């Protein structure tokens, strides 16, 4: 009914924690959610562990776990297979997220396995309150659209900074990595077209992929280029030659990356940040 536009109401989450602190969600199975599965919003000190989250791959917007405008969140040891991003960090949508001004920060994600037609791990695209200080490590994604997808858009404002993604294994994934500034729509026409997001200090390292179709895309915003993007020890292989990286409006560095990185990441200017962040 939702796909046909005939659903007369909005779709609920299976579990939404709001304005909560010191919460533990563990040792449960969540299945066939109508919308996002687990949504901690305006929360702090949240531990999510040992979950199985399942939904058909053609089920729309069935994100696995979406920490939203929340701080000090740990997500670990989960197996997720859904119809949308497995884990997506968010912080508010356009002018509403800017007005609220509550970032997502201090988030640790580790030992996650799963499959999705979209992304295994993502940030965005709703990032208007800001996302910072995130560590995601020991991730294993298969039969997915993207391994790592960091996404925002003009009109979002906010920031994405100090993000580290490490020790990722990919199999049968279309894009190994995508960092893009043209993703996601707007809730209404009242958003500020001049509210440009800042994307800075992202480190992606120790990524191994097989059966990959395209290495990835890093596309900043012309008037707000993405800066200090560091790629290190990334090896992406395919049964056919992996399509090369595509980059625009981005600066940074790349160390030991296959296929060869785009020229925007081979200058010496970004090398000091990259070597210091490893």
Give residue-wise pLDDT tens across range 232-264.
999 999 999 999 999 999 999 999 999 999 999
Among residues 63, 84, 85, 200, which one is catalytic? 84
Distance, CA of 27 to CA of 238 (rounded, Å): 36
Question: Does residue 84 have an active-site annotation?
Answer: yes
Range of the domain at 272: 2-276
pLDDT band for 268, please (50, 70, 90 cuts): low
Phi and psi at 98, nearest 5°, equal -65, -45
| CATH classification at residue 70 | 2.160.20.10
Distance, CA of 278 to CA of 276 (rounded, Å): 6
Res. 270: pLDDT tops 80: no
pTM: 0.97
Number of structural domains the chain divides into:
1
Phi and psi at 59, nearest 5°, equal -85, 125
């Amino acid at each position: 009914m939702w796909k046909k536009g005939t659903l007369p109401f909005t779709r609920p989450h299976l579990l939404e924690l709001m304005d909560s602190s010191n919460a533990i969600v563990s040792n449960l199975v969540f299945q066939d959610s109508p919308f996002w599965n687990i949504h901690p919003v305006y929360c702090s000190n949240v531990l999510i562990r040992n979950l199985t989250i399942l939904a058909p791959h053609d089920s729309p917007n069935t994100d696995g776990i979406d920490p939203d405008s929340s701080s000090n969140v740990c997500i670990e040891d989960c197996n997720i297979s859904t119809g949308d991003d497995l884990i997506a960090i968010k912080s508010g949508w356009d002018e509403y997220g800017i007005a609220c001004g509550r970032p997502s920060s201090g988030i640790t994600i580790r030992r996650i396995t799963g499959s999705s037609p979209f992304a295994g791990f993502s940030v965005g695209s709703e990032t208007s309150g800001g996302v910072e200080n995130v560590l995601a490590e020991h991730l294993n994604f298969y039969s997915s659209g993207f391994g790592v997808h960091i996404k925002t858009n003009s009109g979002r404002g906010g920031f994405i900074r100090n993000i580290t993604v490490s020790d990722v294994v990919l199999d049968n994934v279309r894009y190994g990595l995508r960092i893009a500034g043209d993703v996601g729509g707007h809730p209404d026409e009242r958003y500020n077209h001049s509210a440009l997001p800042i994307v800075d200090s992202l480190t992606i390292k120790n990524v191994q992929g097989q059966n990959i179709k395209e290495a990835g895309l890093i596309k900043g915003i012309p008037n707000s280029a993405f800066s200090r993007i560091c790629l290190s020890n990334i090896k992406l292989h395919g049964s056919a030659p992996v399509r090369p990286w595509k980059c625009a409006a981005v600066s940074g560095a790349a160390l030991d990356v296959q296929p060869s990185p785009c020229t925007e990441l081979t200058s010496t200017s970004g090398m000091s940040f990259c070597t210091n962040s490893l």
